[in-house]
Amino acid sequence: MAEHPNSAERAYEKLRTMAIHFDFKPGERVNESALTKRLSVSRTPLREALNRLVAEGFLTAAPGQGFFCRPLSPERIMELYQVRAALESEAIIRGIARADDAQITSLCGYLDETEDAYSTCQNAAELLEMDERFHMKLAELSGNAELVRLLANINERIRYVRLVNLHQLIEQGGLAGDDQASLSMHRVIALAVQARQTEPAVQALRDHIERRSEETVDLVRLAFSRLYVPDS
């Protein structure tokens, strides 16, 4: 963890992790002096990190009142899902137009590698990481660094909700079916990209993403309950 030499960067990494996991409750005020002790840095680099997180959408800042955790509302989450759909659709379009066969084959290779783990894994965090990695690799086919950067940001901001969703699916035992569907969706997308068929690929992607966003309201409610009844 002592990777970064400067304390502002260290504070930023830790705070971002906390923000992703909603260690701050939605809407809650973030106390600076408490964090200085917790992270062993002074207020200057701490505030630098907090400001970065504001610009990235993890926190909000009210003048004269300091920093607050972003609210967790169904509307906001749905917005993020829509932006995600926008960015990934574009990535597919550009990827099909630009990526060479080797790159696309590499994406399919990743699916092959993770197929077994994906089917057997019962750990929500691991499943989500594999899923996210596939989507990031897909996005990287675009060769567009800005697109990738924005998508990474969006993914981090919806990660918690998706995690809670997966948790629930595993508990309900309904994961197997849904999980397989997700995996085969990835396969469908990858194959369409490989065949350079833009419309089918984009359509498959949008179906894949939109499936979740329909359940968003319930998802957010569930996420709230997990946050305020911290048993798991």
- Which spans of this chain sit near DNA (rule: CB under 7 A)? 6-9, 29-34, 41-45, 47-48, 61, 63-67
Residue (34 or 55) nearer to DNA, CB:
34
Instruction: Check binding of 189 to a second copy (CB under 8 A).
Output: no
Question: Roughly how many angstroms between the first and final C-alpha of the chain, as a whole number?
Answer: 25
Residue 31 CB, nearest distance to DNA (Å)? 5
Q: Is 66 in the site for a second copy (CB under 8 A)?
A: no
119 neighbors 180 (Cβ within 8 angstroms): yes
CB of 205 to DNA, least distance (A): 39
Q: Is 132 in the site for a second copy (CB under 8 A)?
A: no
Query: Across-strand partners of 66?
Result: 62
Which residue bears the tokens 């809650």? 28
Question: Residue 13 CB, nearest distance to DNA (Å)?
Answer: 12
Nearer to a second copy, 48 or 126 (CB): 48
39: which residues sit within 8 A by CB, 6+ positions away?
10, 11, 14, 15, 46
Cβ atoms within 10 Å, residue 204? 21
- Which of 3, 5, 62, 120 touches a second copy (CB under 8 A)? 5
Q: Distance between CA 206 and CA 193 in Å, rounded?
A: 14
Q: How far apart are CA 226 and CA 210, in angstroms?
A: 23
Residues in the chain: 232
Structure tokens at 151: 């998508």
Among 19, 138, 142, 216, binds a second copy (CB under 8 A): 142
Chain residues that interact with a second copy, rule: CB under 8 A: 4-6, 9, 44, 47-48, 51-52, 54-57, 63-64, 76, 79-80, 82-83, 85-87, 89-90, 94, 142, 144-147, 150
